[in-house]
Structure 1
Amino acid sequence: MTWLRKPWVGPLAFVVVAFVAFSLPPYLTGDRASARVQSDWGPHYPLLVVHVVFASIAIITCVVQIWPWFRGRFPAWHRRVGRVYVWAGVFPAGLSGLVIGWMTPFGPVAMVSNVILAVLWLLFTWLAWRAARRRQFRDHRKWMIRSFTLTVSILTNRIWGVLAFMALADRVPEAELPNAISGIATWTGWVVPLLISQWWLEREPRRKTAVAVEQREPVSV
C-alpha cells in the first residue's frame, strides 16, 4: 500500500492521539484547579480551555492533512478537513494563545516566545489558506509545512522541558526553576523544528534537480 511508503505517518498519529488523550481531559471538567498552568489573571483559565480544545482539533486534523495517501485518495475531504484545521483549529487556538502567551506566569522570556509563536502560527496558516484559494499549490504546501511544524511543536516543547529540568534542577534556585525551564522549552520547542523544516524545504528542490540531472546523464559502458 502507498501509505506504507511513509513510515512516519503511523508513529506520528499515535503520538498525537496519545498526547491529546493525556492533555485534553483536565480542561473539559471546568475545574480551574485541574489546569496544568495556573494564573491569577481571571480570564486566563477560560482562554486556556479554548486554546487547548481548539489546538487539539488543529493537531489532529493537521496529521490527517499531511498524510499523502489521504490527500491523493480523498481530495475533497482534504479540502474539508483543511477548513476545519484553519477555522476550527489554528485561528481560535492561535488567537487565544496570543492572549494567554502575553499573560503567561512564566516570565518575560517565555512571554516573548509564546507571542511570536502565536503570531507566526496564525500567519503561516493564513498564507497556506490563501495560497490554496489562489490555487498556488506549491506555495500552499510550503506554508502548510511551516504551519504543521508549529502545530506539532508542542510535542517537542515537552521534550525540551524535560531536558531543561534535568540540566537545571541542581543549578538553579527552586523559585526560579519554572521560569528558566519554560523559557528554554518555549523557544527551543518551536525554533529548532522550524529551522529544520526550512532547511528541508530549501534542500528539497536541490535534491530533485540533482536526481533529474543524474537521470538525464548518459550511462557510460
Structure 2
Amino acid sequence: MLQLSNRLAWSLMALLSVAVALVSYRYLLGIGPLAPDILRNAFRNPWLNLHVAGAATALLAGPGQFVGPLRRLRPQVHRWLGRTYAAGCIVGGLSGFVLAWGSTAGPIATAGFASLAVIWIATTVQAWRLALQRRFAEHRAWMIRSFALTFAAVTLRLGLAVLPLAGMSMLDAYRAMAFLSWIPNLIVVELLLARQRGLAAA
C-alpha cells in the first residue's frame, strides 16, 4: 500500500511539474496570457527568459531523477538527466535572484523569492558535489531537498489559485506565497527524510 501511495504521489508531482513547465515556456515564445506584473519586472530583460528556460527545464527533468529503475538500468541517462536538472536549477536560481530585486510586489516578495533562489542553488550544488564524491545516499537526500524547492513553481501557482478564494487580494496572496511556496515544501521533505532515517535505523 505504501509503495502504491508513493507511486501515486510521484505521478501527481510529475504531472503537475510537466504541466507548469510547459505552460511557463510560453514566456519564451511570447504567446498566450502573460502576467502583466511579471512583464513589468525591472530586470525582465534578459533575466525572465533565462529564469523560465532554467526553471522550466528543471521541472521537466526533476521527476525522472527519482525513478529507481532508470537509476539502476540506465545510469548514464540518469547522470545526463541530473546534469540537465542541476544546470536548469542554477540558471533558474541565479536569474530568479536578480528578478526578485525587480519585483513589483515590494520588499516582502523580494525577500521571499531571493531567499528561495539562494537556498535552491545551495541545495542543488550540494547534491551535485555529493554525487561527484559518490556519496549517493546523501546525494539523494539533497536532491530531494533541491526538487522540493524546484516544485515551488507548482505550489506558487496552486496558492495563487486558492488564497484569493479565501478573500485575500492577489497582491497579498503573491507576497504570502513568496514564502509559502517553498518553506512548507522543505518542512514536508525534512519530515519524510527523518522518517526514512528512523525506518533505516529500526
1:79 aligns with 2:79: yes
| Alignment match, 2:90 | 91
- 1:60 offset after TM fit, Å? 0.7
Does structure 2 retain, via aligned residues, the 8 Å contact 1:65–1:78? yes
CA separation in 1, counterparts of 2:17 and 2:99? 23
CA separation in 1, counterparts of 2:180 and 2:55? 19
| Alignment match, 1:117 | 116
Identity of aligned residues (%): 30
| Alignment match, 1:172 | none
User: Could you list the per-position Cα deviations for residues 140-171 of structure 1 after superposition, in whole angstroms to 9, with x for gaps in the alignment?
Assistant: 111111001001111111112222212234xx
1:63-212 to structure 2, matched below 5 A, reads 63-87=63-87, 89-169=88-168, 177-210=169-202
CA separation in 2, counterparts of 1:181 and 1:27? 25
CA separation in 2, counterparts of 1:99 and 1:26? 17
User: Could you list the per-position Cα deviations for residues 92-146 of structure 1 after superposition, in whole angstroms to 9, with x for gaps in the alignment?
Assistant: 1110000001221111111101011000000000000001111111211111110
TM-score (norm. length: structure 1) = 0.82
CA separation in 2, counterparts of 1:104 and 1:138? 38
| Alignment match, 1:214 | none
The AA in structure 2 aligned to 1:179 is L
CA separation in 1, counterparts of 2:122 and 2:41? 30
| Alignment match, 2:12 | 11
Larger radius of gyration: 1
- Aligned length, in residue pairs: 198
Does structure 1 retain, via aligned residues, the 8 Å contact 2:54–2:92? yes
**Runs of 4+ residues deviating >4 angstroms:** none
Does structure 1 retain, via aligned residues, the 8 Å contact 2:21–2:56? yes
| Alignment match, 1:218 | none
Deviates more, 1:119-128 or 1:194-203: 194-203
TM-score (norm. length: structure 2) = 0.89
Does structure 1 retain, via aligned residues, the 8 Å contact 2:21–2:57? no
Higher relative contact order (CA 8 A, sep 6+): 2
Does structure 2 retain, via aligned residues, the 8 Å contact 1:16–1:60? yes
Q: Gaps spanning 5+ residues in structure 2: where?
A: none
| Alignment match, 1:27 | 28
- 1:35 offset after TM fit, Å? 4.8
Does structure 1 retain, via aligned residues, the 8 Å contact 2:41–2:102? no
CA separation in 1, counterparts of 2:11 and 2:163? 28
The AA in structure 2 aligned to 1:59 is L
Q: Gaps spanning 5+ residues in structure 1: where?
A: 170-176, 211-221
Could you say what secondary structure the match of 2:39 adopts?
Answer: coil
CA separation in 2, counterparts of 1:102 and 1:168? 27
- 1:23 offset after TM fit, Å? 2.2
| Alignment match, 1:213 | none
User: Could you list the per-position Cα deviations for residues 45-91 of structure 1 after superposition, in whole angstroms to 9, with x for gaps in the alignment?
Assistant: 4211110111111111111111222112211111111111112x011
Calculate the aligned-residue CA RMSD, in Å.
Answer: 2.2
CA separation in 2, counterparts of 1:6 and 1:124? 24
